[in-house]
Amino acid sequence: MTGTALLQVEDLHVRYATRVVHGVSFDIPRGETLALVGESGSGKTTTARAALRLVEPEVGSVRFDGIDVRALGRETMRAMRRRMQIVFQDPFTSLDPRITVGETVAEGVLAHRLAGPLEAKKRALAVLAEVGLSSDEFTRLPHELSGGQRQRVAIARALAVDPELLVLDEAVSALDATIQSRVLDLFERLRDERRLTTLFIAHNLAVVQRVASVVVVMFAGRVVEHSAANAFFAGPLHPYSRALLDAVPAPDPARRRALPVIGDELLGPSAVGCVYFNRCGHPRKDAECEAEQPRLSAFADGRAAACFKAGGASPVLRPPVRPLDR
């Protein structure tokens, strides 16, 4: 797998005031989609930014197409950026309010000298059409668009420079379901046609299930589970993964069940022992968990988890409570 990996992240640590990413490693083979999931503050966005060198890692290596990106000089890094694009969650803050949609999308094409002005405009129109925006939008300013339209402009801007790696940081989360579904169709097509590789950060596990081949779950800056998507959705190993899955409200009143109140967010990560100890609803959690942070260990079916109690069946967590109207 190492031979074909487009992005290889190894033992990544990132520190701001405190360390927020602790020894994260993963590979994404070309043409694959790896999903990074976990709650806000779990370190997934920082991991992605460090992988693109938008923040400098404290420790660790990042290889893109075999090249150590941390060793690159300014100019080579700049050229490399064309090949690795990122789309952020909030398009209002990531789009320049003073330039038109068309210019925004063509800008990267011109900056990386991929085409002359005429050709860049043509490309911009084509990629805007791909994300479902018409030529009417071409001369609009960001504030004249709806949130969904702005997000599609940000996606079009990233796609216009024909990247090999696309990092989507909650990029489809705020879109209405009908538009989200169309944008996901587009990604699936690009993945198949151009072997586009994607690091997909999302909190909606139903969306993750649709697009990802591998799921990496982060909690408090650490990877707590790293599993093939099929095995993960069939039965995750880590109690936090289980909690994330159980908390997804099913769009089906016939499968109405109490959403689990587990992993109370008011209890922070534990300072000693397993980071998840305070919030863990695993029926077999014990003194071992309280004393030591478990390492990420491999299990069957391409799964790995950092939990002393992992293995066997997926954990059943503490009993849930009644939903609103029952």
In sequence order, the 6+-apart residues with CB closer than 8 A to the CB of 233 are 205, 209, 215, 245
What x-and-dash track marks residues 159-178 binding another protein by CB under 8 A? -----------------xxx
Residue among 64 and 219 whose Cβ is closer to another protein: 219
Of 75 and 136, nearer to another protein (C-beta) is 136
If the CB atoms of residues 142 and 148 are measured against another protein, the closer one turns out to be: 148
Q: Report the C-alpha gap between 267 and 290 in whole angstroms.
A: 15
Choose between 76 and 181: whose C-beta lies nearer to another protein. Answer: 181
CB of 247 to another protein, least distance (A): 4
What is the Cα–Cα distance from 295 to 298, expressed in whole angstroms? 10
322 binds another protein (CB under 8 A): yes
One of 114, 261, 302, 314 touching another protein (CB under 8 A): 261
Which residue from 135, 60, 51, 118 is spatially nearest to 85, judged by alpha carbons? 51
Q: Which of 1, 93, 252, 300 binds another protein (CB under 8 A)?
A: 252
Which residues 6+ apart lie within 8 Å of 53 measured at CB?
62, 69, 70, 77
Using the minimum distance from each CB to another protein, give the nearer residue, 79 or 250. 250
Spell out the residues 6+ positions from residue 141 whose beta carbon is closer than 8 angstroms to its own. Answer: 97, 98, 99, 100, 101
- Choose among 80, 48, 155, 65: nearest CA to 57: 48
Select from 78, 189, 256, 284 the one that contacts another protein (CB under 8 A). 256
Q: Per CB under 8 A, does 271 bind another protein?
A: no
CB of 140 to another protein, least distance (A): 16
| Residue corresponding to tokens 């990629």 | 127
Q: Please give the single-letter amino acid code of residue 38.
A: G
* 171-180: long-range pairs with CB below 8 Å, 24+: 171/87, 171/88, 171/89, 172/202, 172/207, 173/89, 173/202, 173/203, 173/204, 173/207, 174/89, 174/90, 174/147, 174/148, 175/148, 175/151, 176/148, 179/132, 179/148, 179/152, 180/207
Q: What are phi and psi of 85, to 5 degrees?
A: -110, 150
Among positions 120, 145, 166, 262, the unique one binding another protein when judged by CB under 8 A: 262
Is 140 or 210 the residue whose CB approaches another protein more closely? 210
| Segment 93 to 122, residues that bind another protein, using CB under 8 A | none
Pairing of strands 165-169, 67-68: unpaired
x/- track of binding to another protein for residues 180-219 (CB under 8 A): xx---------------------xxxxx-xx---------
Minimal distance, residue 92 CB to another protein, in Å: 13
Q: Is 147 in the site for another protein (CB under 8 A)?
A: yes
The strands making up 297-299's β-sheet, listed across from edge to edge, are 84-87, 165-169, 197-201, 33-37, 214-219, 222-228, 303-305, 297-299
The contact pattern for another protein, residues 37-56, with x = CB under 8 A and - = no contact, is --xxx---------------
Residue closer to another protein (CB basis): 23 or 260 = 260
Min separation Cβ 280 and another protein, Å: 13
CB of 61 to another protein, least distance (A): 30
Is there binding between residue 244 and another protein (CB under 8 A)? yes
Residue closer to another protein by CB (options 98, 322) is 322
Residue ranges binding another protein (CB under 8 A): 39-41, 146-148, 176-178, 180-181, 203-207, 209-210, 233, 243-245, 247-266, 321-325
